[in-house]
A and B are shown apart, each in its own frame.
Chain A
Amino acid sequence: MAVFCYAAAQRVTIRLTSPNLILDIRSVVEHQQPRIQLEPGAQGDCVTLYGSWNASILAQPQNWLRLSRQLQSQAAHAMDISWDLRQVERLDHTGAQMLWNAWGRRWPRHVMLLDMQRATLSRVEHFTVEAPPPVRYTLWSAYLGLGAWLMAFGNHMQDAGRMSAQLFVDLFRLLRHPLKAPWRDVSVHIYRIGATAMPITALVGFLIGVVLAYLMSQQLRQFGADAYVVNILGIALFRELGPVLAAILIAGRSGSSITAQIGVMRVTEELDAMRVMGISRSQRLVMPRALALAVVMPLLAAWTTAAALTGAILASDLTLGMSPAYFMIALPKAVQLANLGLAMLKSCAFGLLIALIGCHFGLRVMPDTQSLGTGTTSSVVMSITMVILVDAFFAVLFKGVGV
């Protein structure tokens, strides 16, 4: 090649040589494509392999389909033909494994190899193991699965119960030694969970207020009962929507972050570090969050209700021509103060629930990424479900109060 180019350069006929060069490059590229060639010989057939037999080239779909079909057609009499691998440029373990499997996992009678290829193939020979039989689904395994599920459920309940009980113990300790409590943590969480959630809760509350007031006024106008929009909206927003909306938003926003934060502490062994320093994680992780959420949730519920009422007042003014002043005068008559008390009580319970569920799933995270993901998801789903369940419970329990 070099000599040829040199001669060409001497005669300064580059234009003549360049097509040859291109041809040459093309043949090199083609050369790398893995190929199988069957040549009938005097002492039986001979299969010669060419090109690169490595994973990334074999995995190109056209190569894979062609070669696996060709190898399969030789598989029946792989023992009797002779194989010539010496033209192969690069045989990696994937290629070697493919050949080895095609040979029925034993050496054919005639193989011509380079030393390196022999080494690769004998490693494959040495280390190939039969795949384990697939696990079959039987009634017995279903029974065992049910048992495992029940055990896991029981374990969950046990953990949750223990954590809640520990929280009460910690709260009693807090009452006895109020100065030793982690107040700074509590205030950090109040800010992070409460203050930073104010814009989003206000926006959602306001829009819900507008939509509800608009729909209600449309319906009530048909009966000439326009004035009762204050009663319906007042009760709905104060008693149900404000607390539940705020709780669902906070469950999605802070419940997940509590789980993820504690879960990562497990992954990075920070939880273990706390343990060996003799710091109770219930006291440092669970209690501050539970306290903060118990304080913050009623405030956020009030804030969301206020935003929703603003939206409702605005929408009633626009659709019914009901003045804000009238709305504000009619509201105390329509909604008894007990409703507000009930809402605050409910919110406090929601806050505690969200914190406890978030911490519970966070502490159960195993040190791997998948369990962190499932833990966070379950925590959010569980806390939203529990919020709605507890809300229904409150509705039944206090059905005579405030209405």
Chain B
Amino acid sequence: MTIRSPVVKIEGLWSAFRVNGVKNVVHQDLNLSIARGEFLSIVGGSGSGKTLLLRQMLGLETPMRGRVQVLGHPAGHLGRQGVAAQVGMLFQHGALFSAFTVLENIAFALHELGTLPKALVHDVAMVKLQMVGLSPAQANKMPSDLSGGMVKRVALARALVMDPPLLLLDEPTAGLDPDAAEAFCTLLRTLREELRLTVVMVTHDLDTLFSLSSRIAVVADKHVIVAASPQEVVDFPHPFVRDFFLGGRGHRAMQVMRSEISAA
């Protein structure tokens, strides 16, 4: 694969799941392409299949029809050994291994390679731990002793331990207080610039959305209705977009975005 080809390419995706035997189609002929270096946010109403789209990219779900290609390979081929070097995922609730300490959680993917000596793995995990803004003193804590913000940071460090070029985030700021959410956004922005990551994020939080995204994809009516820069998306004529961005909450977040643009 070359530098120019998209990191994620979704073509004609149909996904469906069964509830009590009734087939429920969530995505119908959905197309989306994500270029290298982008920060793409996926927004949509509750139940519109944003997280399912993310799970499709991770190969956790099988498409009913259509193709999902990640880094030039079908998404179904992810989940093999060494995939941590290609895709990092930050789950909504962290999904830390509760039986491991923080450091063991971060080092897990490296440790599983089996060859690298313990001392080196320890050093790398310690560097990642501090890269996400935690102190070495947190290394031996158990996940159940951490606060919500710390869980997210550890999960981010774990996702990044093998320096994957693609990072997927599911609701990274959900459940964090505004201060912690802001700090987490700053962290994501810095890491993305420093590590030159391609990031795909699912979020409901408009502040996070406008402060991070380089492109926004709106999922509604079972497909991506628009995927463009934040300003273009806001101007897109569609009832969902109007309700989502131009409601009371959207209005306030937009003002912040406008003032940031004018300040820049």
Contacts and interface: CB of A to CB of B under 8 A. Distances in A.
Interface in A101-127: 101, 116, 119, 123-124, 126-127
A131 B127 contact: no
A131 B99 contact: no
A93 B142 contact: no
Given A92-B162, A368-B143, A369-B97, A59 B113 contact: yes
Nearest to A116: B196
B131 A55 contact: no
Nearest to B165: A90
Interface in A297-322: none
B136 A129 contact: yes
Contacts of A129: 126, 130, 136
Contacts of B122: 131
Interface in A126-143: 126-129, 131
A116 B144 CA distance: 36
A127 B162 contact: no
A94 B128 CA distance: 10
Contacts of A370: 98-99
Nearest to A91: B163
B41 to A, nearest CB: 25
Interface string A54-66: 1110111100100
Chain B, interface size category, equals 20 to 34
A375 B98 CA distance: 15
Most chain-B Cβ atoms within 10 A of its Cβ — which of A92, A93, A101?
A: A93
* A: interface residue count bin: 20 to 34
B114 interface: yes
B131 A59 contact: no
B256 interface: no
B120 A101 contact: yes
A54 B120 CA distance: 13
B163 A58 contact: no
B115 A131 contact: no
Given A54-B163, A93-B124, A94-B124, A59 B114 contact: yes
A98 interface: yes
Contact of B127 (A116, A128, A368, A369): A128
B144 A58 contact: no
Given A61-B115, A129-B126, A367 B163 contact: no
A146 interface: no
A93 B85 contact: no
Contacts of A131: 119, 122-123
Interface of B: 82, 85, 97-99, 110, 113-116, 119-120, 122-124, 126-131, 136, 142-144, 161-163, 194, 196
Interface of A: 54-56, 58-61, 64, 92-94, 97-98, 101, 116, 119, 123-124, 126-129, 131, 366-370
13 contacts: A55-B116, A55-B124, A56-B162, A61-B115, A94-B162, A94-B163, A97-B120, A116-B196, A119-B194, A124-B127, A126-B130, A127-B129, A370-B99
Of all A-B residue pairs in the complex, the 3 with the closest CB atoms, nearest first, are: A368-B98, A370-B99, A92-B163
